[in-house]
């Protein structure tokens, strides 16, 4: 099923996170990696996009999904996974993830994303009316606005000016 346009911003962010997982997994499979730069990249991804993504899902998508009995267990599972993933992002920020921890991070994040895409988003698209999806999309747009600012490039207004 094609992704409804109102869920596309979350799906694009999922693609970004999965790309990180694929690159890290390939590096780990190729041999020993230095965890430090990977932890820094994971931390940056969280600060610039993923933290806003989790909040948007928790505030805009999960409450809508909880209106359907068939999705309640899935939403509970996804919320629990968000807590665990936040813990892994904190470990990356603290630079305490070793190679095994990085592999666990890849597996947990990739599995979580696929569950949201294949189970939650697919079911919501089948259960919600177009107007309900549009309302959720409007809420997601507001919730994700901060993410677009977190990783924006400096402009003439925001650039640091040299001292005279």
pLDDT of residue 32: 74
pLDDT at 87 over 90: yes
pLDDT at 147 over 90: no
CATH number for the domain that contains residue 53 = 1.20.120
pLDDT at 161 over 90: no
pTM: 0.87
- 161 lies in some domain: no
Q: What is the pLDDT of residues 3-50, one digit of tens each?
A: 999 999 999 999 999 999 999 999 999 997 999 999 999 999 999 999
With vertex at residue 39, the alpha carbon angle to CA 34 and CA 45, rounded to the nearest 5 degrees, is 140
- 3 lies in some domain: no
- 78 lies in some domain: yes
- 82 lies in some domain: yes
pLDDT of residue 155: 43
Cα separation, 76 vs 66, in Å, equals 9
- 152 lies in some domain: no
Measure the N-to-C terminal CA separation of the chain; round to a whole number of Å.
58
Report how many domains make up the chain.
Answer: 1
- 156 lies in some domain: no
Domain range for 20 = 8-147
- 153 lies in some domain: no
pLDDT of residue 148: 64
pLDDT at 150 over 90: no
- 107 lies in some domain: yes
């Amino acid at each position: 099923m094609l992704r409804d346009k109102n869920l596309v911003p979350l799906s694009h962010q999922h693609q970004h996170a999965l790309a990180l997982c694929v690159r890290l997994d390939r590096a780990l499979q190729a041999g020993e990696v230095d965890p430090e730069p990977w932890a820094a990249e994971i931390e940056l991804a969280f600060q610039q996009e993923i933290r806003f993504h989790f909040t948007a899902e928790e505030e805009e998508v999960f409450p809508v999904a909880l209106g359907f009995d068939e999705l309640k267990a899935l939403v509970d599972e996804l919320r629990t996974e968000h807590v665990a993933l936040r813990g892994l992002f904190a470990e990356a920020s603290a630079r305490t993830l070793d190679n095994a921890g990085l592999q666990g991070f890849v597996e947990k994040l990739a599995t979580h994303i696929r569950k949201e895409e294949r189970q939650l988003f697919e079911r919501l698209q089948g259960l919600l009316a177009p107007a309900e999806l549009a309302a959720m999309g409007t809420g997601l747009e507001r919730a994700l606005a901060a993410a677009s600012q977190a990783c924006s490039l400096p402009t003439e207004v925001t650039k640091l000016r040299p001292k005279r």
